[in-house]
Amino acid sequence: MSTNQRRPVFVQKYGGSSVSDAEKIRRIAQKICQRARTGVGLVVTVSAMGDSTDELIALANDVTGPDVAPSLREMDTLLSTGELVSSTLMAMAIHSLGQDAVSLSGQQAGIRTDAMHGSARIASIDSERLSRELDAGRVVIVAGFQGLDDSGDVTTLGRGASDTTAVALAAALGAERCEIYTDVDGIYTTDPRIVPSARKLREIGYEEMLEMASLGAKMNPRSIELAAVYGVPVLVASAFDDVPGTLIHGGEPTMELRRAVTGIAIDKNVAKITVRGVEDRPGVAGGLLQPLADAGISVDVIVQNTSDDGTTDFTFTVSEADSRRALEAVRKQQAVKFRDVTSGGGLAKVSIVGTGMQNGPGYAATMFNALASANVNIDMITTSEIRITCIVKSESVPAAANALHGAFELDRIE
C-alpha cells in the first residue's frame, strides 16, 4: 500500500437549527470528534445559527427603510457573516475537545461562483487548501452558502443553500458520501403531520427525491440535482438522535425495496390563473407566459382546452405568493387577446411519485379511484414519467394523502 494513499473523506452538513446555541454547537462538536477518531477525513459545512440569516435580512431592511432595497452586494457580504459565526464557533468547540480543526470561509475553501448576488451558482472549487488541511489531520469546517465571484466579491448561493455547498464539496473532493444532518431524521413516504402512518424510507433515488423535495427533510432541490450529476450519495439523518436516516443515491434499489410508488408529495399554497376566451393561434401560450417568466414567476401545471368558437381556455398554476403578480402580468400584456382572467387560491398539489410507475399501467386509475372513494374532487391533472399530480382543494389534502398512502400500501414499507 502506498504511504500517501488518501484517507476516505466524508462531508457533513449541519443545519441552522442544529447549531442554534452554544450547547448545541458543543454537542455537534462532540459528534464530529467521535467521527474524526475513526480515522476518516472530515469536512463539515454549517449553516448560520438558528434564524440568524432572517435576522440579518431584517436588519438590512431596517437600515434602508421600506422604499429602498438593500444593495445585493452588501447583502451578500452581510449574510455570509452568519455562516462565519457558526463555522468559527464550531472550530473553537472542536479545539476545546482536543481535536485539531480549522474553519474556512467559502472564499478560503476555494469556492468560486458566478456574480449573481443572492442566488449565485458554484462555478468551480479549487480544493487545494481543503486537501492540505485534511492531509494535516485537521477537521475542516466550511462556512456554508457562500463563495467568491471573479471580481473578488462575496456571493451567497440562495436561501437554504448550505446543502448545495456540502454536496459540491463532496463532489470536488471525491468524498465517499455527503451527510446532511438536520432536525428531521430522514425522508418519509409523505408528511407525517398529515398522514400519521407515514414511514421513513431507507433509501430513495435522486429523481424521486427531486420530486419529493418539498417534503420531510426540506432538502434544497439544487443540491439533489448536483448530487445526481456527480453521483454523490447523500445521507439525510437526525443531527441529535442516533437513528438510521435515508440514503439518496443513484444505484439500483435493493430487491425488497423496489416498489412502484415511493411517496406522496404534498405542495400546499397553490393558486390557479384561468384565462378564458383566448384567441386560438400559434404563439398564444408563449405570449401569455413570457411576461411571467420576465417577472421571475414560475408556472407549474399548464392546461389548455380547445373550445368550439375558435377561442381556447388556458389555465395554469403558480405559488399562492405569486398569484397577484401573475394576474397583473397577464392583464398587462398586450401580445394576446382574451375575454377574461381570474385567479383562485386555496389549492394544493398531491402527487404520487415513483420510478417504478414508468413500467406499469394502472397507477393513474388507482390514484383517481382512491381519491374518488375519499370523496376528493380533482381540479387539474398532470403527469411526468415518474409522477402523477392532482390539483385539489387545500382542505381535501388530509383525505387525499391518507387515501393514497393506503391505496399504494406505503404504510407497509419496512
Interface contacts to ligand ASP, rule CB under 6 A: 16, 47-48, 53, 82, 144-145, 159-162
3-state DSSP helix/strand/coil % of the chain, to nearest 5: 35, 25, 35
Q: Which is nearer to ligand ASP, 119 or 366 (CB)?
A: 119
Minimal distance, residue 14 CB to Mg ion, in Å: 11
Instruction: Report the distance separating Cα 205 and Cα 228, nearest Å.
Output: 9
| Binds 147: which of Mg ion, ligand ASP, none (CB < 5-8 Å by kind) | none
Q: Which is nearer to ligand ASP, 145 or 206 (CB)?
A: 145
Minimal distance, residue 111 CB to Mg ion, in Å: 18
| Binds 144: which of Mg ion, ligand ASP, none (CB < 5-8 Å by kind) | ligand ASP
Q: Which is nearer to ligand ASP, 90 or 404 (CB)?
A: 90
Based on the number of CB atoms within 10 Å of its own CB, is 113 exposed (0-12), middle (13-18) or buried (19 or more)?
A: buried
| Binds 291: which of ligand ASP, Mg ion, none (CB < 5-8 Å by kind) | none
Contacts 24+ apart (CB under 8 A), 211-215: 211/265, 211/351, 211/353, 211/384, 211/386, 211/387, 212/187, 212/262, 212/263, 212/265, 212/353, 214/265, 214/266, 214/267, 215/187, 215/188, 215/190, 215/191, 215/263, 215/265, 215/266
Minimal distance, residue 90 CB to ligand ASP, in Å: 14
Q: Which is nearer to Mg ion, 86 or 262 (CB)?
A: 86
- Start-to-end C-alpha separation, the chain: 41
Coil, helix or strand for 30?
helix
Minimal distance, residue 343 CB to ligand ASP, in Å: 29
Distances (CA, A) of 157 to 36, 241, 306: 28, 29, 42
Q: Which is nearer to Mg ion, 18 or 103 (CB)?
A: 18
Q: Which is nearer to Mg ion, 18 or 47 (CB)?
A: 47
| Binds 347: which of Mg ion, ligand ASP, none (CB < 5-8 Å by kind) | none
Minimal distance, residue 52 CB to ligand ASP, in Å: 7
Q: Indicate which single residue of 9, 10, 16, 211 sits in contact with Mg ion (rule: CB under 5 A).
A: 16
Q: Which is nearer to ligand ASP, 64 or 119 (CB)?
A: 119
Q: Residue 238: left (phi > 0), alpha (psi -120 to 50), or beta? A: beta
Minimal distance, residue 106 CB to ligand ASP, in Å: 11
What would the x/- binding string for Mg ion be over residues 23 to 52, using CB under 5 A?
------------------------x-----
Q: Are 413 and 201 in contact (CB under 8 A)?
A: yes
| Binds 289: which of ligand ASP, Mg ion, none (CB < 5-8 Å by kind) | none
Minimal distance, residue 55 CB to ligand ASP, in Å: 10
Q: Supply the DSSP string of 134-183, one letter for each residue.
A: HHTT-EEEEESSEEE-TTS-EEE--TTTHHHHHHHHHHHHT-SEEEEEES
Q: Which is nearer to Mg ion, 16 or 245 (CB)?
A: 16
Q: Order the strands of the 139-143 sheet from edge to edge.
A: 101-104, 139-143, 41-46, 9-14, 177-182, 234-238, 246-249, 203-205
Minimal distance, residue 324 CB to ligand ASP, in Å: 25
Distances (CA, A) of 25 to 218, 242, 264, 284, 293: 22, 17, 34, 55, 42
Q: Which is nearer to ligand ASP, 16 or 186 (CB)?
A: 16
Number of residues that bind Mg ion (CB under 5 A): 2
| Binds 145: which of ligand ASP, Mg ion, none (CB < 5-8 Å by kind) | ligand ASP
Q: Supply the DSSP string of 312-337, one letter for each residue.
A: EEEEEEEEGGGHHHHHHHHHH--SS-
Q: Are 113 and 161 in contact (CB under 8 A)?
A: no
Residue 275 forms beta bridges with which residues? 314, 341
CA dihedral (243, 246, 249, 254) positive or negative: positive
Closest residue to ligand ASP using C-beta atoms: 162
Q: Please identify, among the stretches 11-19, 188-196, 289-297, 309-317, the one whose residues bind Mg ion according to the rule CB under 5 A.
A: 11-19
| Binds 354: which of Mg ion, ligand ASP, none (CB < 5-8 Å by kind) | none
Minimal distance, residue 53 CB to Mg ion, in Å: 5
| Binds 161: which of ligand ASP, Mg ion, none (CB < 5-8 Å by kind) | ligand ASP
Minimal distance, residue 165 CB to ligand ASP, in Å: 8
Binding residues vs Mg ion (CB under 5 A): 16, 47
